[in-house]
Amino acid sequence: MKKIILLIASLVLLLVAFVVFVNINTPSFNARVVEIFENGFVVVEPIQDRAVSNFGARASFNMNEINDIGVSVGDIVSIRVGRTVLQTDPTIIDARRWSIVERY
């Protein structure tokens, strides 16, 4: 019985460590929402120098693929990104998670 409990506890700790590792190594940036389209696409302008160099002047993603946070044009959001999908203008990104930093 003790071995089963130790095995379960070890698996839980391993899962927690993996989740923390993934969240730490997922890039994120802050941006201002400039457009929201009816089809769910959002266009943002990064407000950090690092993000601007990585994504260009604007980035877009489909908010239907992540959680709806009730964002409005002008809000500042934090976006966690998986990878860049397509280098266009605006750059299409693989947004994994986002949250509102400041409401307009």
Residue 48's CATH number? 2.40.50.140
pLDDT in tens, 38-94: 999 999 999 875 555 566 789 999 999 898 899 999 999 999 988 767 778 888 899
Domain around 85: 28-102
Distance CA 16, CA 41 (A): 32
Residue 28: what pLDDT?
85
Distance CA 29, CA 77 (A): 8
What is this structure's pTM? Answer: 0.70
Number of domains in the chain: 1
User: In sequence order, what are the residues at sequence separation of 6 or more whose Cβ sits closer than 8 angstroms to the Cβ of residue 71?
Assistant: 33, 36, 42, 63, 77, 98, 100
Residue 88: what pLDDT?
82
| 39 within a domain of the structure (yes/no) | yes
| 5 within a domain of the structure (yes/no) | no
